[in-house]
Structure 1
Amino acid sequence: MKHKYSSIMASSLAKVVSVAAIATMTVNIIIPDHKQSETENRPLQTFPSWNTEHVLSGQYTKDLNTWFSDQFVCRDLNIHIKYLIQKTFVVKEIQDVFLTKQGLIEKTAKPNKEQLERNLNAINTFKQNNPELNVGFVTVPNAVSIKKLDNRNQEKIQKLYQ
């Protein structure tokens, strides 16, 4: 009796999952593509154009895979639910974005030493070319730097502002 019940449940579950998968694929194909994701503030992949060169190089399948993931029905809702679950389990960072009580803060890239050197040289050259000007330089911290500092030295910061 128990075995019969298990096989009926497994068969029913397989049918439900199959129907849901086919319905989702059908809806994904019928609904027109979205050009932009307001949630992620980025353009979304549109349906890739087919040509022999892209198919042979494998680029077509990569673009098609990106299209499926970008144009998935209720995608924004799924992203939001995933974010809420991660926030519930106190995840501090999701894909280079820090979750804070005040909101989301994007992680900054590591400094590019070559660019830093070019910038410093440009400032020094400007100062040499304009001796009559009083030239100074101030590094302004971004929100991530302040948040890291805040987490490590919260008591010290509170004493400074009292």
Structure 2
Amino acid sequence: MKTKKWSRQDRLGNILFLVILGGGLLALILNLVLPDKADSDTENRPLAQISDIQARGLWTGETGREVNDWYADQFPLRNSLLHLNYCVQRLEGVSEIDDVYIGSHMLLQQAPAYDAAVSDQNLQAIRDFQAKTGIPVNVQIVPTSIAVNADRLPMNATSADEAAAIADIQSKSQDLGFINSL
């Protein structure tokens, strides 16, 4: 009986498969052994925690989603891998990652679009506060870092016209004290 001779490509494929499988198993074991982290300083958010597993959650798929989120958040060397991803994207020329512009020597987060209805509600709440307490109130709308550092934005980056939004709020708050910050 003839034995099959493995080609170089087959051997390299098998080695790569074993390395990936071993790395995945090692990550799983480390994830189970290492203590969970509560917060991510890099992303400024709480990390997913595993909760009690219940039969109802297994049936609905909720437990599977919780375990998936937990594993993704508690993955060993997660912050290093996030930093590596950031560096690779920078090398590719990406100028915006998750609504954050990569500017000249600084990161600049995009401001949400101006919503006049929300602004009116907030100004009314300030007026109500002033009427209830009798305390004189001043309003100051502080521009975002994008408005202040517009010269540091990457090429072709767009940002909202915050000066127009602040002027609109100033015109609507004449009965309140307004501090101009532009």
Match of 2:22 among 10, 19, 22: 19
Give the root-mean-square deviation of aligned CA atoms: 3.0
- Percent identity for Structure 1 against Structure 2: 25
Render the CA deviation track for 1:20-67: whole Å, top value 9, x for unaligned.
221121111111111111111111111232112322332211111110
Aligned twin of 1:10: 13
What is the letter of the counterpart of residue 80 of structure 1?
A: H
Aligned twin of 2:95: 92
1:145-156 → structure 2 map (5 Å cutoff): 145-148=147-150
Aligned twin of 2:180: none
SS in 2 for 1:56: helix
Which structure has more relative contact order (CA 8 Å, sep 6+)? It is 2
The number of equivalent residue pairs is 147
Aligned twin of 1:116: 119
Distance 1:9 1:144 in 2: 49
Render the CA deviation track for 1:95-151: whole Å, top value 9, x for unaligned.
11111123112222223333211234456778999xxx8x88664321123344765
| 31-40 or 118-127: bigger deviation | 118-127
Aligned twin of 1:160: none
| TM-score normalized by the length of structure 2 | 0.66
Match of 1:30 among 25, 30, 33: 33
1:41-60 → structure 2 map (5 Å cutoff): 41-60=44-63
* 1:48–1:67 contact (8 Å) kept in structure 2: no
C-alpha displacement of 1:79: 0.6
What is the letter of the counterpart of residue 145 of structure 1?
A: A
Distance 2:31 2:131 in 1: 62
What is the letter of the counterpart of residue 59 of structure 2?
A: L
SS in 1 for 2:93: coil
Change (3 A) 1:57 1:113: farther
* 2:40–2:46 contact (8 Å) kept in structure 1: yes
Q: Does 1:79 align with 2:82?
A: yes
Could you list the runs of 5+ residues in structure 1 that have no partner in the other structure?
153-162
Could you list the runs of 5+ residues in structure 2 that have no partner in the other structure?
156-182
Change (3 A) 1:91 1:147: farther
* 1:45–1:70 contact (8 Å) kept in structure 2: yes
